[in-house]
Structure 1
Amino acid sequence: MGYGIKLRVWGEYACFTRPEMKVERVSYDVMTPSAARGIFEAIHWKPAIRWVIDRIHVLNPIRFENIRRNEVESKASGRKKVIYAAEERQQRASLVLKNVQYIIEAHFELTEQSGEEDTAEKHYNIFLRRARQGQCFHRPYFGNREFPVNFDLLEEDAEMMKYSNVHTGEIDLGYILLDQTYHVNDDGETVEVIPHFFRARMINGVIEVPKLQEVNR
């Protein structure tokens, strides 16, 4: 296990889309572990490390809001390099989370691609420096790029105590997306994407995140 890190993240809106909703976007009640991992990767990621989410603290009340957004019908690809937004624009309703705030506890593990120079201490210090200065490879977001993430590093346990959870007792949140694994062919093309879910329970505002290998047993 790598060094543990605690990051507070917050924003005005979030949408962690439920995969079973095909037409209109509907968010899970809370942030998914894969979305949390994406925030850490936006701040610091190299092939030598793999981020693992340990737990998520839900600090604010869970509130939803209906909004309508303009989206384009298709995506750019190798065959379709140009999209004319005026011709393909369509409105979609979305049920999104409003005024979200979380504390994410995570650690990283060294991968098989790490070299002699890739020590845990080195990557830990790189992340601390970048997080303290608000640096990131790209602006992290809550599910959709139009919902940007604000973040700051919690370096002492006393700093966590300032952000008390508003939730008490145990809440069964149902099955939530944990992560996805990708199978590629010999040409490096993704041929299969397998989603993995876990039964999320929030106890006094805290969600313990299982390891992927535990879910797959």
Structure 2
Amino acid sequence: MRNSVEFVVYGDYALFCDPLLKLGGEKCSYQVPTYNSIKGITESLYWKPTLIFVIDTIRIMKPIRMESKGVRPIDYNTLKNTLANYTYLKDVCYQVRAHFEFNMNRPDMAFDRNEGKHYSILKRSLEMGGRRDIFLGTRECQGYVEPCVFGEGKGFYDEYGDIHLGNMVHGINYPDETGRDQMEVRLWNPVMRNGVITFPRPEECTQVRTISEMKPKHFDHTNVESADALLASWGEGGIER
């Protein structure tokens, strides 16, 4: 696929939290990553408001295992520590195939639609492990990214058949990507077939609920060109990553 990248992301722990289980202060991970969590990882490789990343498929390479930990998070009402149990995924590894498209809802970024430039920077950033830190769902779960060929290697679920994962969050719609002045949540019912999950595009999701009103942030030539100059100085060794 045009502008496509393939990479493997892995780490010791992951927490792709089910929002319904956060109401009591506890956190419990979904069995697999959400679309938006993988999109966020891809944007940590390289992102500009000119682009929209589309996640095509993900391959679950290792068995789904969970581990519960006692933690002491901050209680936001009292600003003191409280007690909670977080249930993490343990020893995770995913192969991802994604591509980018230009954000046509951002006419203010039309001057920056240089496909070759963005694709070259994306490939170089992937080879370096990303421009920003990689997190597997939450800040305490550090992840690592490397280029790969999607489908290579043996996965734990290669001959497992279909696994229905129930209703879960697909992702969030933001106004600068939809053209609507509201934030929305998307739900779907994923099926993992022999370890591979094929994501529908965000606009293909039929279960969409409005969360709140929201206005997009606007960019102009000044702050975009300043960001380009800063990134160029990184590449020249002027600023350390």
TM tier relative to shorter chain? 0.7 to 0.9
Contact map agreement 1:2 1:109 (CA 8 A) in 2: no
Instruction: Normalising by structure 2, report the TM-score.
Output: 0.75
The equivalent residue for 1:43 is 45
What pairs with 1:1-217 in structure 2 (closer than 5 Å)? 2-21=2-21, 22-23=23-24, 24-74=26-76, 87-112=79-104, 113=106, 114-136=109-131, 138-154=132-148, 156=149, 160-162=151-153, 164-167=154-157, 168-182=160-174, 193-216=183-206
How much has 1:92 moved relative to structure 2? 1.3
| Post-superposition offset of 1:197 | 0.8
Cα distance change on mapping 1:30 and 1:202 into 2, 3 Å: same
Larger helix proportion of the pair = 2
Q: Contact 2:130/2:145 (CA < 8 Å) preserved in 1? A: no
Match of 1:78 in 2: none
Structure 1 residue runs without a partner (length 5+): 76-83, 185-190
Q: Structure 2: which amino acid aligns with 1:151?
A: V
Distance, in Å, in 2 between the alignment partners of 1:101 and 1:43 is 17
- For residues 47-96 of structure 1, give each alpha carbon's deviation from its aligned partner in whole angstroms, at most 9, with x where no partner exists: 10001111110000000011112211229xxxxxxxx9xx5111210111
1:26, 1:95 within 8 Å by CA — same for their partners in 2? yes
Give the whole-Å Cα distance in 2 for the aligned partners of 1:64 and 1:103: 19
Structure number having the greater strand percentage = 1
Q: Distance in 2 between matches of 1:211 and 1:116?
A: 26
Unpaired runs of at least 5, structure 2: 208-241
State how far apart, in whole Å, the 2-side matches of 1:19 and 1:193 are: 16
- Length-normalised TM-score, structure 1: 0.83
Pairwise CA distance, 1:107: 0.6
After superposition, the Cα gap between the structure-2 partners of 1:38 and 1:48, relative to the gap in structure 1 and judged at 3 Å, is: same
Q: Determine the C-alpha separation between the residues in 1 that align with 2:9 and 2:90.
A: 13
Aligned letter for 1:64?
M
User: 1-side partners of 2:69 and 2:147: how far apart?
Assistant: 31
Residues 1:2 and 1:46: Cα distance change in structure 2 (over 3 Å): farther
Q: How much is the aligned-residue C-alpha RMSD, in angstroms?
A: 2.2
Is the alpha carbon distance of 1:171 and 1:135 closer, same or farther for their aligned partners in structure 2, counting shifts above 3 Å? closer
How many positions carry a matched residue from both structures? 196
